[in-house]
A and B are shown apart, each in its own frame.
Chain A
Amino acid sequence: MNVEGNGDLVDVQAGPPTDGSGPAEGTPLLAIDHLRVLFPIKAGTVVNRKIGYVHAVDDVSFVLNEGETLGIVGESGCGKTTLIRTLVRLVDATDGTIRFRGTDITKANRKDLEPIRRQMQMVFQDPQASLNPRKRVNQIIATPLRIRGVPKDRFEAETRGLLDKVGLHPEHLNRFPHEFSGGQRQRIGIARALAVEPKLILLDEPVSALDVSIQAQVINLLDELQDDLHLSYVFVAHDLGVVRHVSDRIIVMYLGKLMEISPAEELYTKPIHPYTSALLGAIPIPDPNENRARERTMVTGEPPNPINPPSGCRFHTRCPRATEICSTVEPQLTEYANGHIAACHHPQNVTASEVVGAVRSDASPLTAGDDRPVT
């Protein structure tokens, strides 16, 4: 590995071998089945009673394939961050299963998790808060290197290589986090995640704390790293522009539920769920003419309380298309062409024949009704 070079990463990177020790062909990297995360709300001074639950993630199922980037979007409080924290077991699931390459890790203990966590790393939103301010960069990166079993005399060379890979000066390995800018700190966070040679990186709003010009740099870096190292990403963000740029498929969440799963491009050209259109309509396009020309669906009101979510479809209180059935029956996740899935009784942008051809998805919540969508 060319540690001094600052040139073309594609050529000098040896890349981890695609080992044959993995699971059987066709097993997804990550398979989530009916995952629920409820947080109890307690009250009472003497006796601690549970008076309710926050439905943070409520019956969510999806798969992530090798080399894929899955975007997860939604407003604050939709459960997107809780969801990915649960995937790395920083939060425990209430129900459902998480399988990593076929292994059920939902209840795995610390010891069993260790080898899994080496393959699954997380990058956090706030690079300032997720780096220990009293450690130098080389110390920050040394811990994951030790876990990977790198001999001590290789630490410096490895650290330099990692810094170079994420676009930082290798000479900066003796600096403290406060000596870097926000974008550079996020690069350190990425270098730390890469140090264990993971297969999957979970990114929780990795660029939302950064300025646009720096955002672009970090997004490009993630893109390059994915090509070089065959990484898979789960990319959580509230910014649909950023998500479009990085994702292969996108999940839209609302109040703990999956609303829509779609191939990235199609979500923007053919949103099926009215909530998705509402989200897209709310985003101003940085182009005055297009902004003036387009029609925008505006939603009124604010997201309801996740402690006591609405019955039926959770979006029905704000939905312009809602009818009687939406408040009583939870919609099934319906799979249309192209693996485009949406949970809506009154889908938009689909033809009658598409609706006829659509099937109930296995990812449908267990509590969902059998009613077929009607355009």
Chain B
Amino acid sequence: MSSGARTPSANGYLLDVEDLKVSFRTEDGVVRAVDGVSFGIKPGEVVAIVGESGSGKSVTAMTLMGLTRSPNATFEGRALFDGRDLVTATDEDLRKVRGAGIAMVFQDPMSSLDPVQRIGKQIVEQIRTHDRKISKAQAYDRASELMERVGIPRAQERLRSYPHEFSGGMRQRVMIAMALSNAPTLLIADEPTTALDVTIQAQILDELRQLRTETGAAIILVTHDLGVVADIADRIVVMYAGRVVEQGTLDEIFYDPQHPYTWGLLGSITRIDRDRSQRLPAIPGLPPSLLRPPEGCHFRPRCPHAYDRCTQVPELKARLADAADHLDRCWLEPERKRRLRVVGDQIGLASEEAVIS
């Protein structure tokens, strides 16, 4: 199973996830939401996990924080952080990791803040949970500092506000302030800008970028928006139907993508810098049900380039001679891929007709 490409944590990874699997028992059967996810993140790095709904990207992120634990869930594989395996860690150990080690920012800032508590109190509670020695007054000072840090004007005053008195963008800033409160070394942001307007999104991304330079924290950004990814990420992990199908640096994924799903994803985005003359090369069909995933490569039923070998699961490994960290799960020869992925003059997923001709 293991390709032996790397030994955990030995090569400077802050977090090293290896062959993570998460299944949930449901009334209809076992859903394998995450089915073999491996990636590593180095200190100060921004890694984006990209995928569509149901790809398992959020479940992966939540599992690292121990938020998917339930009697119905089973886990395999490991996720090493700071000498601990987050998958098997006790609740007590996880509590220590949360906050000071890993902090999380969620998509919807309204439902992640307590509506009946003042903002200040919520931040102070977070600070004091992880740092018992700090006094209340000190904690309030720290809270107001943090709020200023993330660009909230009149921070001292706004500590007394309730969440509903803040706009969506401001609430997301509060969430980031809370996440920063114990100086984490890893920040997991799950679709942090999806609920926001573009002008506010740009401001928040700027905030995250600054934060990385100032604190040196690594960031895992879970998102479906390739524009956001291009704006901030160093490396990209592309997920499809529970599996990592490709991972590499920002430029590798955008300019030399190896997996047909990545081609489809890149081809089907509408862009403000492209004209409308041509139809979008959409990916045909729908993602599979994770109750009964297709045999072999999960993308096979939608892939115009699939052939008989695709009924076996391709391993996630480096397939290019000159890029040892650019991994993918596709059986096609790299040379062939280079030809197949060009649709018109751009990268995209060719439709079936085009393949035959």
The answer to whether A288 touches B251 (Cβ under 8 A) is yes
The answer to whether B230 touches A291 (Cβ under 8 A) is yes
Which residues in A have their C-beta under 8 angstroms from that of B227?
241, 283-286
Q: A172-187: contact bitstring with B at CB < 8 Å (1 yes, 0 no)?
A: 0000000001111000
Q: Which of B11-19, B25-33, B65-73, B280-288 touches A?
A: B280-288
Range of interface residues on chain A?
35 or more
Which residues in A have their C-beta under 8 angstroms from that of B271?
241, 244, 285-287
Question: Other CB < 8 Å A-B pairs besides A213-B52, A241-B227, A279-B198, 16 of them?
Answer: A183-B286, A212-B265, A212-B268, A216-B270, A216-B280, A220-B279, A223-B279, A245-B270, A245-B274, A246-B276, A282-B201, A284-B225, A285-B230, A286-B226, A286-B269, A287-B271
**CA–CA, A156 and B169, complex, Å:** 48
Question: Is residue A268 contacting chain B, with contact meaning CB distance below 8 A?
Answer: yes
14 contacts between A and B (CB under 8 A): A182-B53, A184-B286, A211-B224, A212-B52, A213-B268, A220-B282, A223-B279, A244-B276, A264-B276, A282-B199, A284-B202, A286-B226, A286-B271, A299-B199
Which residues in A have their C-beta under 8 angstroms from that of B268?
212-213, 215-216
**CA–CA, A216 and B276, complex, Å:** 12
- The closest CB in chain B to the CB of A248 belongs to B276
- Chain A residues 287 to 309 lying within 8 A of chain B, measured CB to CB, are 287-291, 296, 298-300, 302-303
The answer to whether A76 touches B280 (Cβ under 8 A) is no
- Within the complex, the shortest CB–CB distance from B259 to chain A, in Å, comes to 13
Question: Is residue B214 contacting chain A, with contact meaning CB distance below 8 A?
Answer: no
**CA–CA, A182 and B53, complex, Å:** 10
- Chain A residues 44 to 95 lying within 8 A of chain B, measured CB to CB, are 75-76
B residues in contact (CB < 8 Å) with A: 52-53, 167, 169-170, 197-203, 205-206, 224-231, 250-251, 254-255, 264-276, 279-284, 286
Which residues in B have their C-beta under 8 angstroms from that of A289?
251
Which residues in A have their C-beta under 8 angstroms from that of B250?
288
- Within the complex, the shortest CB–CB distance from A262 to chain B, in Å, comes to 13
The answer to whether A220 touches B53 (Cβ under 8 A) is no
Most chain A beta-carbon contacts within 10 A, residue among B272, B274, B282, B284: B272
**CA–CA, A282 and B206, complex, Å:** 11
Most chain A beta-carbon contacts within 10 A, residue among B198, B228, B231, B284: B198
Question: Is residue A358 contacting chain B, with contact meaning CB distance below 8 A?
Answer: no
Question: Is residue A278 contacting chain B, with contact meaning CB distance below 8 A?
Answer: yes
- The closest CB in chain B to the CB of A180 belongs to B286
The answer to whether A75 touches B198 (Cβ under 8 A) is yes
- Are A241 and B269 also in contact (CB < 8 A) when A286-B229, A291-B230 are? yes
Question: Is residue A327 contacting chain B, with contact meaning CB distance below 8 A?
Answer: no
The answer to whether B52 touches A211 (Cβ under 8 A) is yes
**CA–CA, A240 and B199, complex, Å:** 12
Which residues in B have their C-beta under 8 angstroms from that of A246?
276
A residues in contact (CB < 8 Å) with B: 75-76, 181-184, 211-217, 219-220, 223, 238-242, 244-247, 264-265, 268, 278-291, 296, 298-300, 302-303
The answer to whether A240 touches B283 (Cβ under 8 A) is no
- Within the complex, the shortest CB–CB distance from B115 to chain A, in Å, comes to 20
- Are A302 and B273 also in contact (CB < 8 A) when A213-B264, A216-B281, A219-B280 are? no
- The closest CB in chain A to the CB of B52 belongs to A211
**CA–CA, A281 and B203, complex, Å:** 11
**CA–CA, A284 and B196, complex, Å:** 14
Which residues in A have their C-beta under 8 angstroms from that of B275?
244, 265
**CA–CA, A217 and B286, complex, Å:** 10
**CA–CA, A223 and B284, complex, Å:** 16
Name the contact of B283 in the complex, choosing from A213, A265, A302 (C-beta under 8 A): A213
The answer to whether B199 touches A244 (Cβ under 8 A) is no
The answer to whether A286 touches B197 (Cβ under 8 A) is no
- Within the complex, the shortest CB–CB distance from B41 to chain A, in Å, comes to 19
Name the contact of B231 in the complex, choosing from A183, A217, A291 (C-beta under 8 A): A291
- Within the complex, the shortest CB–CB distance from B162 to chain A, in Å, comes to 18
The answer to whether B282 touches A213 (Cβ under 8 A) is yes
Which residues in A have their C-beta under 8 angstroms from that of B281?
216
Which residues in B have their C-beta under 8 angstroms from that of A284?
202, 205, 225, 227-228, 230-231
- The closest CB in chain B to the CB of A182 belongs to B53
The answer to whether A280 touches B272 (Cβ under 8 A) is yes
Name the contact of A240 in the complex, choosing from B226, B254, B272 (C-beta under 8 A): B272
Which residues in A have their C-beta under 8 angstroms from that of B200?
302
The answer to whether A268 touches B273 (Cβ under 8 A) is yes
Most chain B beta-carbon contacts within 10 A, residue among A242, A280, A286: A286
- Per CB-CB distance, the 5 closest pairs between chain A and chain B, nearest first, are A216-B268, A216-B282, A284-B231, A241-B270, A284-B227
The answer to whether A288 touches B254 (Cβ under 8 A) is yes
Which residues in B have their C-beta under 8 angstroms from that of A213?
52, 264-265, 268, 282-283
The answer to whether A286 touches B266 (Cβ under 8 A) is yes
- Are A212 and B269 also in contact (CB < 8 A) when A223-B279, A284-B230, A291-B231 are? yes
**CA–CA, A212 and B224, complex, Å:** 8
- Within the complex, the shortest CB–CB distance from B197 to chain A, in Å, comes to 4
Name the contact of A286 in the complex, choosing from B202, B206, B230 (C-beta under 8 A): B230
- Within the complex, the shortest CB–CB distance from B295 to chain A, in Å, comes to 21
Most chain B beta-carbon contacts within 10 A, residue among A223, A283, A300: A283
- Within the complex, the shortest CB–CB distance from B355 to chain A, in Å, comes to 18
The answer to whether B273 touches A281 (Cβ under 8 A) is no
Most chain A beta-carbon contacts within 10 A, residue among B169, B230, B255: B230
Name the contact of A287 in the complex, choosing from B197, B230, B286 (C-beta under 8 A): B230
**CA–CA, A182 and B224, complex, Å:** 16
- The closest CB in chain B to the CB of A296 belongs to B202
- Are A216 and B272 also in contact (CB < 8 A) when A279-B198, A284-B230, A302-B167 are? no
The answer to whether A282 touches B202 (Cβ under 8 A) is yes
The answer to whether A300 touches B203 (Cβ under 8 A) is yes
- Within the complex, the shortest CB–CB distance from A265 to chain B, in Å, comes to 6
Which residues in B have their C-beta under 8 angstroms from that of A247?
276
The answer to whether A285 touches B199 (Cβ under 8 A) is no
- Within the complex, the shortest CB–CB distance from B173 to chain A, in Å, comes to 11
Which residues in B have their C-beta under 8 angstroms from that of A183?
286
Which residues in A have their C-beta under 8 angstroms from that of B229?
286
Most chain A beta-carbon contacts within 10 A, residue among B169, B227, B267: B227
- Within the complex, the shortest CB–CB distance from B267 to chain A, in Å, comes to 8
